[in-house]
Structure 1
Amino acid sequence: MTCWETINAYALRSIGIGERLLPRDDFTLCQQFTLIGSGMIWNLYYGVLAIGIGFFFASALAVAKGSTNRWLRKPAEWFIFVFRGSPLFIQFFFAYFLFLSLKQAGIMPWLTAAQAGALIVLILNTSAYSAEIFYGALRAVPKGDVEAADAYGLSGWPRFKRIIWPTMLRLAWPAYTNEAIFLFHATALVSFSGFPTWGQRGDALYYASYFADKTFNPFVPYPILAFYFILLTLTVITIFGRVNKRLNRHLPQERRQKMRLRMNLIR
C-alpha cells in the first residue's frame, strides 16, 4: 500500500470512515502519521467545543463570584474550588461512574460515550479555571472606566456589555490563551478516562499507544503525537494572538497587553 493509499484508507478512520481494520505488521511512518493525525480529529472536537461552551459558562461564573448576592457568589466559589482543587483525571473517573449509574437506571445512556461525557467534564474543568482568570480581570477593571460609564448614564447591563466585559476580556486574554493551550493538551487524557469513544475508533493518544505497543518502540509514535500537538499549539497561539490584537487595538502601542505563554506544570 502506497502512502497516498494509506491516507485515503485511514485519514478519517477515527470518525468511522475508511478502513476498519488497523495495520498488524510492517508499520510505516506514513501509517503512523496518518492514523495519529486521524485521532487528532477527536482532540480538536473536545478542545473546540469545551472552549466555545466553557467561555460563556466561565464568564457567568466570574460575574457570579463577584456578585454581592451570596446565593450567586457561594455556589460559584464552591464550583470553582472543587474543579480547580481536584485533578482532571479524577474528575473523569467520578463522572464516568456517575454517568454509568444513570445509564443503568435508564437515564440519558448517551452520557457514557466520550463525545458527550468526557466533553462535559472538560467543559466544567476549563470553566472553573477560566472563571478564576476572568474574576481576577473583573476585579482589575479600572474604576475610572466604570465612573466614566456612570457619567455617560450607562448602568446595569449596558455598562457591563460596553465597558466592563470588553475590558475584562482584554485584561484576561493572555492568561486565558494559556488555559486554552492546556485544555487542548488535556484532551489526551480522554484515552485513559474510561469513556469509550464512538465506534471505539480512538483519539490521537490511542493510536500512538497502539503503535508503541505493537512495535515496542515508543520513540516514533509519541514524537509524532507531540509534533501534532505542537502544530495545534501554534494554531491556538496564532488565533488567540489575533483576537488579543483586536481587543487592544484602541490602546497606544506601549500599553497593549503582550502575550506571555507559561508552562502549566501542575494542574
Structure 2
Amino acid sequence: MSCGDTFQAYAFRSLGFGERLLPKSDITLCDQVVLIGSGLIWNIYFAALALLVGFFLATALAMAKAAPSRWIRKPAEWFIFVFRGSPLFIQFFLAYLVFVKLPKVGIEFTLLGIEFGAGTHWLTRAWLGATIVLIFNTAAYTGEIFYGALRSIPKGDLEAADAYGLTGWPRFRRIVWPTMLRLAWPAYTNEAIFLFHATTLVYFSGFPARKQMGDALYYASYFADKTFNPFVPYPIVAGFFILGTLAIILIFGRIGKRLNRHLPQIQRKRFRFRPQWIR
C-alpha cells in the first residue's frame, strides 16, 4: 500500500471513516504518521472545546471570586481551589466513577423531524466525560489567572470609566473585560498550551474511546506494541504536539496583538549595511 493509499484509508479513521482494521504487519512509517495524525483530531477537539467553554466559565469564576458577596465569592474560591489543588489524572478517575454511578436515564425528543436521544450513559464516554473534566480544570486555572488580572487593572482606567458615567455591563464590556484580557493573555497562552498537552492524559483515564476511535497516544501505543519499537511512534506524537503548540502560539499571538493594538508599538529599524570606507 502506497503512502497515498494509506492516507486515503486511515486519515479520518479516528472519526469512524475509512478502513476499520489497523495494520498488523509490515507497518511503515507512513502508517504511523497518518494514523497518529488521525488520532490527533481528538486531541484538538478536546483542547478546542475545553478552551472555548472554559474561557467563559473562567470569566464567570473570576468575577464571582472578586464579588463582595460571600455567598458568591466562596463557591468560586472552593471550585478553583479543588480543581487546582488536585491532579488532573485523579480528576479523570473520580469523574468517571461519579458518571458511572449516575442512574442510567435518557431523554428522547424530536427536533425538525429528527429524533434525538440524550442520556447519562454518554457521560462515561471520552468525547463528553473527559471533555467536561478538561473544561472544569482549565476554567479553574484560567479563572485564577483572570482574577489576578482583575486585581491588576489600573485604578486610573476605572476612575476614567466612572468619570464618563460608565457603570454595570457597559463598564465591564468596554473597560474591565478588555483590560483583564490584555493583562492575562500571556499567562492564558501558557494555559492553552498546557491544556493541549494535557489531552494526552485522556488515553490513560478511565474514559473509553468509542469504537476504538482513540486519540494520538492510542495509536502510538498500538504501534509501540506491534513493532516493539517505541522510539518511532512517540517522537511522532511529540512532533505533532510541537506543531500544535506552534499553531497555538501564532494564533494567541495574533489575538494578543489585537488586544494591545491601542498601545504604542516599538518601531524596529530595518538593518542596513553601511560600510565605513577609508577616505
TM tier, smaller: over 0.9
Equivalent position of 2:40 in the other structure: 40
CA contact (8 A) 1:66 1:135 kept: yes
Equivalent position of 1:199 in the other structure: 211
Give deviations 1:13-62, integer Å, cap 9, x for gaps. Answer: 00110000000011100000000000001001100000000000000000
- CA distance in 1 between partners of 2:206 and 2:104 (Å): 16
- CA distance in 2 between partners of 1:135 and 1:67 (Å): 11
Larger deviation, residues 58-67 vs 101-110:
101-110
- CA distance in 2 between partners of 1:200 and 1:7 (Å): 18
The alpha-carbon deviation at position 140 of structure 1 amounts to: 0.1
Instruction: State yes or no: 1:236 paired with 2:215.
Output: no
Give secondary structure in 2 for the equivalent of 1:115. helix
The alpha-carbon deviation at position 252 of structure 1 amounts to: 1.1
C-alpha RMSD of matched pairs (Å): 1.0
Equivalent position of 1:263 in the other structure: none
CA contact (8 A) 2:10 2:18 kept: yes
Give deviations 1:206-255, integer Å, cap 9, x for gaps. Answer: 0001111111111100000000000000000000000000000001125x
CA contact (8 A) 2:153 2:180 kept: yes
CA contact (8 A) 1:47 1:187 kept: yes
Equivalent position of 2:202 in the other structure: 190
Q: How many residues align?
A: 254
The alpha-carbon deviation at position 198 of structure 1 amounts to: 2.2
Equivalent position of 1:88 in the other structure: 88
CA contact (8 A) 1:103 1:112 kept: no
Instruction: State yes or no: 1:26 paired with 2:38.
Output: no
Of residues 151, 159, 182 in structure 1, which corresponds to 2:163? 151
* Alignment gaps of 5+ in structure 1: 255-267
Identity of aligned residues (%): 72
- CA distance in 2 between partners of 1:235 and 1:72 (Å): 37
Equivalent position of 2:73 in the other structure: 73
CA contact (8 A) 1:11 1:38 kept: yes
The alpha-carbon deviation at position 103 of structure 1 amounts to: 4.9
The alpha-carbon deviation at position 84 of structure 1 amounts to: 0.1
Give secondary structure in 2 for the equivalent of 1:219. coil
CA contact (8 A) 2:103 2:120 kept: yes
* Alignment gaps of 5+ in structure 2: 107-118, 267-279
Instruction: State yes or no: 1:99 paired with 2:99.
Output: yes
Give secondary structure in 2 for the equivalent of 1:63. helix
Give secondary structure in 2 for the equivalent of 1:154. coil
Please show how residues 149-228 of structure 1 align to structure 2 within 5 Å. Answer: 149-228=161-240
The alpha-carbon deviation at position 109 of structure 1 amounts to: 1.0
